[in-house]
Amino acid sequence: MRRRVAAVDCGTNSIRLLIADIDPERTVLTDIAREMRIVRLGEGVDRTGRLSQAALGRTIGALREYAELIGQASPVAVRMVATSATRDAENAQEFTGRVKEVLGVAPEVVTGDEEARLSFTGATRELSGTPAPYLVTDIGGGSTEFVLGGPEGVSGARSVNIGCVRMTERHLHGDPPAHAEIAAATADIDSALDLVAVSIPAGEARTLVGLAGSVTTVGGIALGLQRYDSERIHHSRVPAARVHEIATALLGQTRAERAAIGVMHPGRVDVIGAGALVLDRIMIRFGFAEVLVSEHDILDGIAWSLVL
């Protein structure tokens, strides 16, 4: 029997809404509404340890729009998950209180491991005929999650702090970034991937599934799209050599040049170079020949969690 649910994912860079009808018996999720706003909730958190008032204002403003859409759709259940930036912030309670006032439910500030498991569910629930085990990697704004598993479930997970916003704020300051800045970001990413390798046998995976805006933007560029097309991007495959080529090009471009790319969301212009670099280093470190790009991620996993 189909159930209508609403899921909200609030990350470091964006806040997203999915209202969907889910049929658990047929394993089918049907979108009613899917929205995304770039709010940069985590702006400056790596440096200050706090959510800024400007970032809170942008996020709550977007959430008011979502609350109106949720009210119109009348779902049977609503769940909001907050991830990396909120975990790291000293004033997370202020954010939680303001969200509850607007949405009627408090956000769940999940651990990195739970974030990873939700991403895995969203990315793999509808996969069929794709060789397992899968390594699902979700490149967020503050952190990147890795989950290894297959149709039988998750066998390992690890979250590391190498998101696209965090890497940009730490290292990539030039326009375009200097070689030394890129080298520092690369070293930071590679050190985190060493931790992943110790935690889970990522090299055992037969399929790399890449999630979130950095990966889908790289997918759109690889397809040569003039505008963002989620249907064409979803489940496209990008060879490792093409990922490396795109990452290198993005890191060598000015902000204006990146902004002119047809598939580029304005809110990703500043951080896409770091996100593409993270994906490139993952593929090099674990020897993947290609990445399967998925438009279904933690947001879909949150929705599925309401019916499973």
Q: What percent of the chain has pLDDT over 90?
A: 69
Contact of 237 with 290, CB cutoff 8 Å: yes
E strand or H helix that includes residue 108: strand 108-109
182-233 pLDDT per residue, tens: 999 999 999 999 999 999 999 899 999 999 899 999 999 999 999 999 889 9
130: domain CATH number is 3.30.420.150
Q: Does residue 99 sit in the same domain as residue 204?
A: no
- Domain annotation covers residue 128: yes
Q: Of 109, 143, 175, which residue constitutes the final position of a domain?
A: 109
How would DSSP label each residue in 159-175? EES--HHHHHHHT--SS
Asked whether residue 304 is assigned to any structural domain, the reply reads no
The order of strands in the sheet holding 77-82 is 28-38, 14-23, 3-10, 77-82, 108-109
Same domain, 105 and 26: yes
Q: Specify whether 133 is located in the same domain as 79.
A: no
Determine, yes or no, domain membership for 166: yes
Of 64-73, 226-235, 252-261, the poorest mean pLDDT is in: 226-235
pLDDT tops 80 at residue 128 = no
Domain with residue 12: its CATH number is 3.30.420.40
Other beta carbons less than 10 A from residue 262's beta carbon: 11
Domain count, the chain: 2
d(CA 265, CA 193): 27
- The owner of tokens 């790291």 is 88
Alpha-carbon distance of 192 to 111, in angstroms, equals 17
Show the CA angle centred on residue 147, arms to residues 20 and 39, nearest 5°.
Answer: 55
Please indicate, yes or no, whether residues 71 and 159 belong to a single structural domain of this protein.
Answer: no
Closest CA to 12 of 101, 202, 141, 183: 141
Identify whether residues 32 and 89 lie together within a single domain.
yes
Range of the domain at 67: 3-109
Averaged pLDDT, 115-131 = 84
Q: Which of 76, 94, 109 is the last residue of a domain?
A: 109
List Cα–Cα distances, 1 to 21, 101, 212, in angstroms. Answer: 10, 32, 29
Structure tokens at 54: 């400007």
3-state secondary structure of 196: helix
Asked if 214 and 151 sit in the same domain, the reply is yes
Both 259 and 146 in one domain: the answer is yes
Q: In this structure, are 81 and 127 located in the same domain? A: no
Centre a 10 Å sphere on the Cβ of residue 278 and count the other Cβ atoms it contains: 30
Q: Which of 109, 139, 159 is the last residue of a domain?
A: 109
87 with 122, same domain? no
CB-side neighbour CA atoms (13 Å) of 254 = 2
Tens digit of pLDDT for each residue in 267-297?
899 999 999 999 999 999 999 999 999 998 8
Residue 103 domain-assigned (yes or no): yes
**pLDDT at residue 84 in the model:** 65
> For 132-161, what is each residue's pLDDT tens digit?
999 999 898 888 989 999 988 888 999 899
Tell me what the pLDDT averaged over the chain comes to: 92
Decide which of 146 and 117 is more confident: 146
Nearest to 261, CA basis, from 219, 293, 229, 221: 221
pLDDT of residue 24: 85
Residues 259 and 138 in one domain: yes
Same domain, 42 and 91: yes
The whole-number pLDDT of residue 93 equals 87
